[in-house]
Structure 1
């Protein structure tokens, strides 16, 4: 059986200055996570889409996703036609210049 004296010593060691360092590490990690998410901020009513092999990030208004050209491109990029669940970011397997042309057409069509 462990004596209360040894438990007190152990508690004293655990609550020493090392715990402050642990707290500081947690605070720094939380701040780093906040900075990471600041980079991912999107405009209201937009969704992030990653395009091409280089996975270039675009902010696309949600209304564009209802256009038939976008729907065809998304359906062509899906790995499994029957899987409607999206895990992670939306990625499209098309060249970036093609996607930029599609964005121009969508902008003219929707006046967004």
Structure 2
């Protein structure tokens, strides 16, 4: 799937490059289902990780972290659950976020849904 916005595509490219430098292996990019989209699905060691990429040019209104509202988190969680139903894996899983705020280095939040 090709993103409509080049800035969003660049953020996902930067996120994937960052995760790759940290030893992650790509499973899928922009995986779609009826519940929404998962930006990146990667293996972080033996853990399957669903990664939400958020980009904000400024920190007003909470920046990239502030854009992770309850509705967005629920959508990502439902999409991840559906992925696991259609791609069963016995491995542990988690949902992470990579946040970009006016800095080429993202903030990596692990296990954002607890």
TM-score normalized with structure 2 length? 0.22
Structure with greater proportional strand content: 2
For the pair shown, which has the larger CA radius of gyration, 1 or 2? 1
